[in-house]
Chain A
Amino acid sequence: MEIKEFKIKWGMVIDIDKCTGCGACMVGCQVENNIAPMTKKDPYNYVQALTTDRDDAANKLRTLTWMNVYEMSNRKAFPEHEVAYLPRPCMQCGHPACVPVCPVVATDKNEEGGIVSQIYPRCIGCRYCMAACPYHARYFNWWDPLWPEGMDKGLSPNASVRPRGVVEKCSFCHSRYLGAKDKARAEGNDPMDLPDGAYITACAEICPTKAITFGDLNNPEHRVHELAKGKNAFRLLEKLGLDPQVYYTSEREWVRLQGDNYNGDGGHGTPSNHG
């Protein structure tokens, strides 16, 4: 398949040498995108005595973390050990593995900006896309989202709530893109030429060390344009040829090597340990 090219290509450059793995991006993402806290009990389940509990956040296979921070280790013993943290949103691939496998066209890459869409009402929950995505960026709603009593009144207006049975993923906070374009139109500016910083994702905004830089990779006036071409820039599993729009940068060679070393040594080459 040809790589789809767009005039605008939203992307990120994440500086691993600045990420402390604090988790603020993950919390900010969940709040922005109405990802419900994981609760064991369902107050609407009137036959709870007969059913098993829902999963809480202890089950890392069933949490919904559109943005997830992984811990990386150089795997050397004390005192040569080094550690790094790698935040992983959806890579919004130029040549996405998830799109062609979807039987109902619930996910597509056809909008200016190059964000891979996810249309929840169309999704039938077959999870082919999850199997296809090498970045584990897609998540399945095993349970209906539930907010503990009272917490549902503070829902974000920026993302519809998804029912169980559908797949979801990071959308680069797409409604913020729509909002930025609307604002540009209202102010008489060109919505197809947003200045750097006019549209920024929740994770990039909240990051206390500014490890995440967001912008249009094609626009020379955006910082990401140059950062993505830096000598220490790399992409995850670049050799798979999916052309991700998320770049990483690190001065540490072992970090860069692990970034593209999938199955390099029999499956131990990936960043280990959910972090």
Chain B
Amino acid sequence: MSVGATVGILFTPTVWTALDDVSIWTQNWPWIPTLKYGEVKGVPTVSKMCESGCAVKVRTVAGEAFGTEGNVDNPISGGGICPLCANGVQVMNSPTRIKAPMLKGAEISWDEAKQLVTEKLAAAGNKVAVISGDQTGTINEVFSALLTSQGSDAFYVMPCEMQAADKAWSGLMGGSGQVGYDLENADVVLLAGADALESWGPTVANMKAFAANESGKFLFAGPVQTRTAAVTSKWVPVPTEGMAAFTLGLCYYVMQAGRSVPAADFEQFKAMVMSGYTPAKVEAATGVSADTMADIARTLLSASNPVVIPSGSVAADAAAFALNLLLGGAMKVLPEFAKAIDGAMSRSEMLKKDILQGVSADLLLVYEANPAYALPEQVKAGFTVAFDCVETETTAAADLVLPTPHSFERFDDLASPYGLAAATYALGAPVSKPTVSVMNAGDFVLGLAALGFETFEDVLDAKVAAIGADKRALVGGAVHVLAETPDLSGVTLASSVLGKAAVPVKGSGAVALAPYTLLNVGTANQATTPNAPCTISNNQLVGDFLVVMMASVTAKKLGVDVGSKVKLSGGSGECSALVQIYEGVLPGVVAAPLGLGHTVGDEFSKGKGDNVYKILTVSSEAATGTSTWAGSTVNIAKI
């Protein structure tokens, strides 16, 4: 090599600039996100990700949805949104959206899907069942009308508070209509197990009412000092299985003060409570002191518009309804909206079947519910069709998966979520165009049988007409309220059943299990959302581990401490978890969050924690003829 070449290589900048370029380019941002600019709008619609549904406005920029904001004009939300619905647009754009109809993992066309389901329907005859994850939509009318046309009545809802309330109110007490609670105008609110400001009922409406009700006194009774208890003026520790007895203990004091109801069986009820649920007996059965009950009863008696809001078992609900009737306060009874489809079931009929006792059918249609996650053992079917918009355990296990549009991409409605003080109806119109091959489940079902309608939008038009509302106003975000009170004359206090059903029954495990739901962690049907995982606290999830909470006395008794790894066994399953000490748990109770431990779904929920539904015990509340998870117990072993 010549001298010139040597000197040239030494002095050329090429080598050094190339090295410099490599170091810069390898560190470059691989992908530069660009923002879209344009007109920003808030389009009113309904979001159905939480159980009661939220009335929201979808925020769009140049027509593209990017977020949600509260709809201030809407009495359901009053401008607030729950953490699930706040992330609605991100779920709509999720990579786990189901992109086309899938038959056992292979993509098929909508025509093939329709033909297949039509054949299966014909073959199944009346052995067809429906599980709906929607508590408030007219879509249930479409599904129930299909069942009726097949000669089946197997309409199931996922276990919910509305069902327990209906079984107590119309099943045991002979009432009609739907029970509601006027939190906003009550002066004393006793939340008897209802985690009303976190997950129970129409959460956002409850929170709005709580904020507006400045002078009202809120009390929370339950085994765990929940988020609701963080803001109420008092937390009364009461075990879940003892809630009905505790409520009857309050009835004792209220009747002692001379309150009565013009019910046919009032005298029987009074005799039953006065002998079977004396303060001393209730104290012995539930551990709640007679003084505490007397104190609460005094508060309720001195109030002018008190209300008691129950949660959990049918017996607890019936006891609370009886107490509310005695107090004559802010418990309301709502009328039901007129039906759109003649062959459809009424809401009360839809709530009759008990999914915890098991579902067995030749053909099962699952609508936006996740029974494979929350009820892995109860559901058996020859052929399962799952309608959903994102992948879940249920769509993974189903034979045929039919993608539905997301809430923000379809017409949908929200009729009287359980717990609201008045019968309200809200309607949502599509905000975004779907980018995947979806079909509204209503449209699909209407194509299977002659139910009198061509499209689901026609059904909603008929619904709006039947209830006498104005569609244009509803699409603009308004709410239709039905003001009439059903006849209460035939209501009884279910004394014969309640006397037996309210006796606390507990499983045989060493520790009582108090499962709880936080909306940011997820519900039975909706897993946590993309932006929510960093809101989940160390009391629910540490790393990928489920966390269970207990008081220090319980931990000491079990020989565990903060961070101990334990195995919880109950029902017919097991969960592994880390222990957290939280003094807001009744001694002898372990509190565990529901909604974690998904095995299918996006990376935000899959493999995070463990599924507490596996360790719940289904027990039969013999006297009321219903099933309940209340009274579940577990054994805890250190691992």
Contact = CB atoms under 8 A, between A and B. Distances in A.
Interface of A: 17-24, 26-28, 30-32, 34-35, 37-42, 44-45, 56-58, 60, 63-65, 69, 71, 73, 76-79, 81-85, 144-157, 160-161, 163, 205-211, 273-275
Given A20-B231, A78-B585, A209-B208, A58 B541 contact: yes
B247 interface: no
Interface string B28-54: 011101011110100000000000000
Contacts of B210: 18, 209
Contact of B533 (A21, A56, A151, A154): A56
Nearest to B533: A57
B81 A273 contact: no
A269 B530 CA distance: 33
Interface residues of B, number: 81
A150 B64 CA distance: 12
Contacts of B518: 22-23
B35 A20 contact: no
Dominant SS among interface residues on chain A: loop
B31 A148 contact: no
Interface stretch (B84-92, B461-469, B499-507, B563-571): B84-92
Contacts of B203: 22, 208
Contacts of B585: 78
Nearest to A83: B230
Given A148-B94, A273-B538, 19 more contacts: A17-B231, A20-B198, A21-B230, A21-B537, A23-B532, A24-B82, A40-B603, A71-B539, A81-B582, A144-B29, A148-B530, A152-B33, A153-B36, A155-B36, A156-B59, A208-B204, A273-B539, A274-B537, A274-B538
A65 B553 contact: no
**What 3 A-B pairs have minimum CB-CB distances, sorted nearest first?**
A208-B80, A23-B535, A57-B533
Contact of B80 (A31, A35, A45, A209): A209
Nearest to B550: A78
B627 interface: no
B520 A208 contact: no
A154 to B, nearest CB: 4
A51 B76 CA distance: 49
B636 to A, nearest CB: 18
Interface hub of B207, B230, B519 (most chain A Cβ within 10 A): B230
Nearest to A59: B543
B584 A83 contact: yes
B5 to A, nearest CB: 35
A21 B61 CA distance: 30
27 contacts: A17-B231, A20-B197, A21-B227, A22-B198, A22-B520, A23-B535, A27-B529, A31-B67, A31-B68, A37-B90, A37-B533, A42-B30, A63-B534, A65-B534, A73-B583, A81-B584, A82-B225, A148-B602, A154-B65, A155-B66, A156-B35, A157-B35, A157-B61, A206-B81, A208-B81, A208-B204, A273-B537
A190 B69 CA distance: 26
A47 to B, nearest CB: 10
B406 to A, nearest CB: 12
B586 A205 contact: no
B623 interface: no
A146 B91 CA distance: 15
A69 B332 CA distance: 35
B544 interface: yes
B95 interface: yes
Contacts of A34: 33, 35
A115 B504 CA distance: 57
Contacts of A153: 36, 64, 93
Contacts of B230: 19-21, 82-85
Contacts of B97: 150
Given A35-B531, A274-B537, A275-B539, A78 B553 contact: yes
B70 interface: yes
Nearest to B61: A157
Interface of B: 29-31, 33, 35-38, 40, 59, 61, 64-70, 77-83, 86-87, 89-90, 92-95, 97, 197-198, 203-204, 207-208, 210-211, 225, 227-231, 237, 435, 518-520, 529-539, 541-544, 551-553, 582-587, 602-604, 608
B80 A147 contact: no
B167 to A, nearest CB: 29
B520 A23 contact: yes
Contacts of A151: 90, 93-95, 530
Contacts of B69: 205-206
B474 to A, nearest CB: 22
B531 A30 contact: yes
A57 B231 contact: no
Contacts of A210: 79-80, 208, 211
B582 to A, nearest CB: 8
A26 B528 CA distance: 14
Nearest to A57: B533
A22 B227 contact: yes
Contacts of B535: 23, 26-27, 65, 69
B65 A20 contact: no
Given A78-B583, A85-B230, A39 B40 contact: no
A23 B531 CA distance: 10
Contacts of A24: 80-83, 86, 520
Contacts of B37: 157
Contacts of A18: 210-211, 231
Nearest to A159: B35
A45 B198 CA distance: 40
Contacts of A65: 534-535
Contact of B197 (A44, A157, A209): A209
Contacts of A273: 537-539
Given A37-B530, A77-B551, A78-B585, A275 B93 contact: no
A272 B59 CA distance: 35
A60 B538 contact: yes
B537 A71 contact: yes
Contacts of B532: 23, 27
A77 B37 CA distance: 54
A83 B93 contact: no
Contacts of B602: 148
Given A22-B198, A163-B29, A208-B207, A157 B603 contact: no
Contacts of A76: 583
A42 B31 CA distance: 11
A123 to B, nearest CB: 15
Contacts of A26: 83, 531, 534-535
A85 B227 CA distance: 8
A145 B94 contact: no
Contact of A206 (B86, B531, B544): B86
Given A144-B29, A153-B93, A275-B537, A83 B225 contact: yes
Contacts of A274: 537-538
A150 B81 contact: no
A22 B553 CA distance: 28
A24 B65 CA distance: 18
A160 B520 CA distance: 26
